[in-house]
Structures are given as C-alpha cells and as structure tokens.
Amino acid sequence: MRRVVITGVGVFASTGKDVNSFFENLLEARSGVCRITRFDPSALSVQIAAEIPDYCPQDYFPPKRLELLDYFTQYSLIAAREAMESSGLEVSDEERPRFGVVMGTGMAGANTFDSGYFNLYAKQATRLHPFTIPKIMHNAPTSQICMEFGAQGPSLATSTACSSSGHAIGAAFHLLKYDMADLMLAGGSEAPITYGTIRSWESVRVLAGGNGDPARACRPFSADREGLVLGEGAGVLVLEEFEHARKRGAKIYAEIAGYGLSSDASHITQPTVDGPARAIRMALREAGANPEEVEYINAHGTGTRLNDPTETAVIKEVFRDHARRVWTSSTKSMHGHTLGAAGAIELVAAVMALERGIVPPTANFTQPDPECDLDCVPNQAREKKIRTAISNSFAFGGLNAVLLVRRLD
C-alpha cells in the first residue's frame, strides 16, 4: 500500500484567516466568538456565533465570480489557495488526471437558501437569482476548486453533518493509498451564520447563549458547560503520495496513517459509545498503532451536556488506562462548531500541534466534571514533541469519522 502525507495546509476561520494566525490564536486561547454582526440578531434568543471578522468577499473575488459563489464556497477557495501555496505544488498537465478534490459540507449554501426564501416568501419575489442552484449545491466547493486549480482526477463531495470533512479527508486518503490518484486537495467548509439557520439550531436546544461574556460561552468538558456555539470557515489540506512528495523535495507536515468510520445506527441526535469507539479502533488498526502510541486527541468536544461525557466514555473504552494520560483538547472552545468544516479545521490544528510540538488548550475551562475526567489541557497550551495524534468527528445522524496522523522524523 502507498503512504500518504500532508504537504500543504490552509484555514479560513473566526480565529484566523491563515494557518499561522489561526494556530497562534488557539495557543493563546483567544476566542473567535462574539455577538453576531452579519445580520441584526436582536430577535434571536441566541445572539452569538464564531464569525469570520471583517470579511469582505470583494477582497478575494471579482464581482462576476461572486455571482456564482455562496459564502461556504468562497471560504473553501480561500483555504485551498493557502494550502496550495504552502505546499509549493505546481501540477503539470500530465499530472492533472491524477489530481483530485474531495470537500465536505453539512449545510452547503445556507446563505443563498436563506436570502432566496426571504425574497420568495417575505418580499413575494417572482423569481430567484439564476445561479441559485449552482450556489447551493453541496459539490460547489469541490467543483470550483477543481476549476481553479485544474484538478481532473477523482473528485467528489461528502455530506455527513458534523463529520463531513473528516470523511472527505479519509476518502482522499484512500484514493491516494489505493493508487487512484497522486495528489488531492481535501477538506470542508461551512457558512451557517444566517437568521434561519440560527433559528433552526435554537429549536434543537443545544446552543450556548453566552450571557455576560460571549467569548467564554463554549466550555467543552467543563461542569458548567451550556452548549455549542456555531462557527463558520474552511479547512483544506494537500494530500500527496509519499514518493511523489519526496521526489519534489516537499515539506511534509505529517503522514495520514489511519482512517476509521462507522455508524451508530441508533438515534438521529443522541451519540452512542460503541459507534465512535469502533471508528477509533478502525483508524488505529489501519495505522498499525497501539492505543498507547496516541499522545494527543483533538476531540469532537462540542460543549453540550450530552456529547462531552459520551466522548469521554468512548475514549475510556478504547484507551483504557491510557485514557487519562493522553492529552485531549477541544478547539471548538475558540473557533466554534463549524459543522461540516469541523473535521478539516480541527485536523489542521492537530497537524500543527505535531509540526510545532505544542498542543492547543481547551479554552474557557472552569470546573472539573466527574463525567469528563480526561486531561483536557485546560486553558493553557502545552509543549511536547508528540508523534501520533487523532482527530474525532462525531455527527448528528450517528456517522463517525476518525483520522490518525503521525509526525515523520
């Protein structure tokens, strides 16, 4: 089987519009959560989100192209550009048929949906924007990235709610491993900060309100946690067959060594222990790794009453005595829950932790919870030259994705 390495990374998120600023803000426990500015949130009971600050689409795209791009596609292109630049990759015409793209999203063109329905029902419009369908399609980021970078190889989109981009990266990893491609761009994007979307999530009753201090609203694994905070953004990685990367002298951030996926087959919103545990064990098995080798877990860690103790139980089930020794942090405490983009954004955080030898904290931690008795790296980053990490993505619908990455010495 062929080895697969990460040679480029890109992020566009509330905590940073590039990888360096994103990771530095995570290390400093700086939150991207604030009162919503994208629209007037006064009528909402939850008025906070992790928005990308001061975002102006015209800074990144010409007006004509913007007519075709919902926010979630814009974010994906911006992150993909950084990933490609950081990789130093120049794809020849001969390589394009083996250069593919896999992108994940949960909600796709939420801004286009929201504005379109408002025009139809509130303003009684008789027609919608002619590019409405190309803007809302789940595969829009994949297709637009393919066109921008000339990728003609195996390409697709994944949509499995909060594990969408974890599955996208896993699919790209297997396409490379099993010799169906040599180069892949993979990741995910989401732009759920709309009036209708927030209203919908309010009804599920899992959102944190952020009374008093929005920046501290998301408190994963803390006893006083209130719920999740929605975030937006994109993460994209360049995946490359190892020998291809070595021959061109590419910088290698990490190796993807294992991918696990499973279904709870139980409940549409309530997670189980068995399903995620099977996904972690599958990733370990593919990587040929023992549980004791894992030194860092970037947890799904949403900050809801139900998710965090369940994920704790999952980690204990798989790692047994090692569970309390492995550092386990949730970066959602800072960049929010970016839904379909979460797996990619959080894998970038894990990869940078390997590359720089420092683990980002779980921010806003206040009180230990006996049901969440892991070492969740509370509030302060920790330095350690870790070699192996996993990133968990567990979704509504019970579809789980786990990625295992290793540092190459």
| Residues 296-312 pLDDT 10s | 999 999 999 999 999 99
Residue 378 lies in a domain: yes
Instruction: Tell me the pLDDT band of 210, cut-offs 50, 70 and 90.
Output: confident
Average pLDDT over residues 130-137: 95
Does one domain contain both 188 and 267? no
195 and 267 together in one domain: no
The reply to whether 129 belongs to the active site is no
pLDDT at 374 exceeding the cut of 80: yes
Candidate from 128-137, 203-212, 227-236, 249-258 with smallest mean pLDDT: 203-212
Q: Which two tokens stand for residue 10?
A: 């890109």
Residues 271 and 231 in one domain: no
Is 227:336 a contact under the CB 8 Å cutoff?
no
Band (127; pLDDT cuts 50, 70, 90): confident
Whether 202 and 278 map to the same domain: the answer is no
Same domain, 17 and 142: yes
State whether 52 and 97 are in the same domain: yes
What does the pLDDT average to over 334-350? 98
Last residue of a domain, one of 184, 212, 247: 247
Annotation says 300 is catalytic: yes
Answer yes or no: do 265 and 234 share one domain. Answer: no
Residue 8 in domain: yes
* pLDDT value for 371: 98
The pLDDT of residue 1 is 85
Using the 3D structure, point to which of 186, 220, 247 is the last residue of a domain: 247
Does residue 230 lie in a domain region? Answer: yes
Counted domains in the chain:
2
Which of the following is catalytic: 138, 167, 244, 337? 337
Nearest to 280 by CA among 394, 187, 361, 365: 394
Whether the predicted pLDDT of 404 surpasses 80? yes
Residues 211 and 269 in one domain: no
- Name the domain boundary from 201, 222, 247: 247
Across 170-194, average pLDDT: 98
Domain contains 204: yes
Question: Does the pLDDT at position 212 exceed 80?
Answer: no
3-state SS assignment for residue 398: coil
Judge whether 71 lies within some domain: yes
In a domain, 253, yes or no: no
Burial 226-257, CB ≥16 within 10 A → b, else e: bbbbbbbbbbbbbbbbbebbeeeebeebbbbb
Q: 83 near 352, Cβ under 8 Å?
A: no
Q: Per-residue pLDDT for 350 more than 90?
A: yes
- CB neighbourhood size of 268 (10 A): 9
Residue 254 belongs to a domain: no
Length of the chain equals: 409
Catalytic residue among 162, 218, 372, 376: 162
**Residue tagged active-site, from 167, 244, 300, 335:** 300
- How many other CB atoms are there within 10 angstroms of residue 166's CB atom? 35
Beta-bridged to residue 50, according to DSSP, are 231
Residue 347: band (very low, low, confident or very high) from pLDDT cuts 50, 70, 90: very high
- Whether residue 122 is predicted with pLDDT greater than 90 in this model: the reply is no
Amino acid at 87: S
Residue 27's domain spans which residues? Answer: 4-247
Q: Above 90 in pLDDT, residue 409?
A: no
Residue 128: pLDDT above 80? yes
Residues 214 and 269 in one domain: no
Considering the domain architecture, whether residues 150 and 228 belong to the same structural domain is answered as yes
Task: Decide if 162 is catalytic.
Answer: yes
Same domain, yes or no: 297 and 385: yes
Residue-level pLDDT at 125: 85
Statement to judge: residues 173 and 204 lie in one domain: yes
d(CA 182, CA 279): 26
What's the pLDDT at 27?
A: 98
Distance CA 230, CA 164 (A): 16
Q: Assign 188 a pLDDT band (cuts: 50, 70, 90).
A: very high
Six-digit token string for 52: 């990308």
What average pLDDT does the segment 269-286 reach? 97
Q: For position 324, which CATH number holds? A: 3.40.47.10
> 70-99: per-residue pLDDT in tens?
999 999 999 999 999 999 999 999 999 999
